[in-house]
Structure 1
């Protein structure tokens, strides 16, 4: 993944003795990619690490591509509104997403101070949820050149086995719709990409998938350059001392990631 994965952009911080990650790219904003050490605390408590009395927003995550603003989020029965991303509309709004192997993306506009938090698993990535969030910024007056995106700890491609059908969906999300019905052609096209998001697997009709790399490619297609992106050098599956992993444990535990608008 080239320069965007340099580890020295990512720093361990501590709050009450518990570790969480920050990214230099997002230094203008209070933010954090929290570890399992903060479980089972919810954003309503975690936001105090950033500010003692600002609102924290979250949604009921459904592996889709809906991105809401804080005023669009409602409490519906037992859950908040179904969505997988939140884009701020005012200053001092904290937005959070939960992940356990999926990619947490925190986005900031260095000109306006607006931010977003996005939950991007393979299903959301196939539906281009991060580009959907970027479009929300653009609709509100942001420019591509001002956006910064940090992709936090997630399962890494070397250990994430998926079916070849999932690889096809990734290819379609990258504009390779013409190969949707040509499995061999799609896999070849994906393998020929620079720093391919697809790695071989010994099992028939399986591959290894780097979801963060697919998201990075989608962002590059939108016009973001490598200096506007950072990818955490951490794998949720391979670092049980820090992160929950659904693929590793088959248990529905999550860690939160959040950022505060300026």
Structure 2
């Protein structure tokens, strides 16, 4: 069994992500001395963005780091925008891999239904998003790749929280380590798909070039130029943050981790870098109320 250790280095959430002052990221250590990342926005909840050092441990083992004994929930992620409530799913149980093959519901987001549930998503370069509600104590975990972001999975998760009583002003959202915009090359068409989700409504019939021009003019643009024709650099994290702004969520409620999975090979797996199907996990545990978190 592993438990959370003491905090180590603080990293202010700054740089190109343009986050407000007062938000920081901290490295924690498990009892075995393995590092995982936490965010000050979510300090009232047991949570963590885990590194490659924990591989091949999965959600059952990692829940013992955050909240031993809590029921565990995970999904078969499919790069879509389906978000499920834990009340729709059985908790994950340990199986003998030699005698049983686990099956999981196909979706990319989880919303807690009860207190003290551990919700998990995995990623390599995609954005892991952990959401918490200071009013209800409920949480959500979302896997937001470019396809899921284009399908607005994060707003879908927010909508489901609101449907069960959350108020937008009570939400805290931490976007964990993901591939940075400086190194994530995509086609103009892909960038335009994501841009269409944050462009004005009258841009529905706009061309890809029109949408990219709109994105370039934003104060915190999620696109950068690329020397290869037909390509740009895209920051999927910023696309998600801009979608949250459109919902009316204040920037002080959103944090973006200052770590790039592609560039930091010592800490993170990256499919774009290595072309290997290796992952790290991110999880958060719901709480009955924030005063006891």
Q: TM-score range by the shorter chain?
A: over 0.9
Q: Is the 8 A contact 1:172 1:180 kept in 2?
A: no
SS in 2 for 1:142: coil
SS in 2 for 1:116: strand
1:54 equivalent to 2:70? Answer: yes
- Aligned partners of 1:165 and 1:78: how far apart in 2? 36
Q: Partner of 2:61 in structure 1?
A: 45
User: How do 1:190-229 and structure 2 match up within 5 A?
Assistant: 190-229=215-254
Structure 2: where are the runs of 5+ without partners?
Answer: 1-16, 93-100, 288-293
C-alpha distance after superposition, 1:84-122 (max 9, x if no partner): 010001101000000000000000000100000000010
Return the structure number with greater helix share. 1
Q: Partner of 1:250 in structure 2?
A: 275
C-alpha distance after superposition, 1:177-227 (max 9, x if no partner): 625551221111111111100100000100000000000000011011111
- Aligned partners of 2:229 and 2:148: how far apart in 1? 25
RMSD over aligned CA atoms reads 1.5
- Aligned partners of 1:78 and 1:163: how far apart in 2? 36
Q: Partner of 1:12 in structure 2?
A: 27
Distance 1:71 1:105, change over 3 A: same
- Aligned partners of 1:192 and 1:95: how far apart in 2? 37
Q: After the TM superposition, which parts of structure 1 deviate over 3 Å for at least 4 consecutive aligned residues?
A: none
1:66 equivalent to 2:82? Answer: yes
C-alpha distance after superposition, 1:30-78 (max 9, x if no partner): 0000000000111011000122211110000000000001121258x75
The alpha carbon displacement at 1:140 in A equals: 0.3
The alpha carbon displacement at 1:254 in A equals: 0.3
Q: Partner of 2:9 in structure 1?
A: none
Q: Partner of 1:233 in structure 2?
A: 258
1:174 equivalent to 2:198? Answer: yes
TM-score, normalisation: structure 2:
0.86
SS in 2 for 1:117: strand
Distance 1:141 1:27, change over 3 A: same
Query: Of the candidates 135, 144, 161, which is equivalent to residue 111 of structure 1?
Result: 135
- Aligned partners of 1:43 and 1:223: how far apart in 2? 32
Q: Is the 8 A contact 1:7 1:233 kept in 2?
A: no
Corresponding residue pairs, total: 260
- Aligned partners of 1:192 and 1:165: how far apart in 2? 18
- Compare 31-40 and 166-175 and name the one that shifted more: 166-175
Query: Of the candidates 118, 139, 144, which is equivalent to residue 94 of structure 1?
Result: 118
Distance 1:18 1:7, change over 3 A: farther
Q: Is the 8 A contact 1:96 1:259 kept in 2?
A: yes
Between structure 1 and structure 2, the one with the greater Rg is 2
User: How do 1:73-88 and structure 2 match up within 5 A?
Assistant: 73=89, 78-88=102-112
- Aligned partners of 1:29 and 1:105: how far apart in 2? 14
The alpha carbon displacement at 1:162 in A equals: 0.2
Q: Is the 8 A contact 2:199 2:214 kept in 1?
A: no
Structure 1: where are the runs of 5+ without partners?
Answer: none
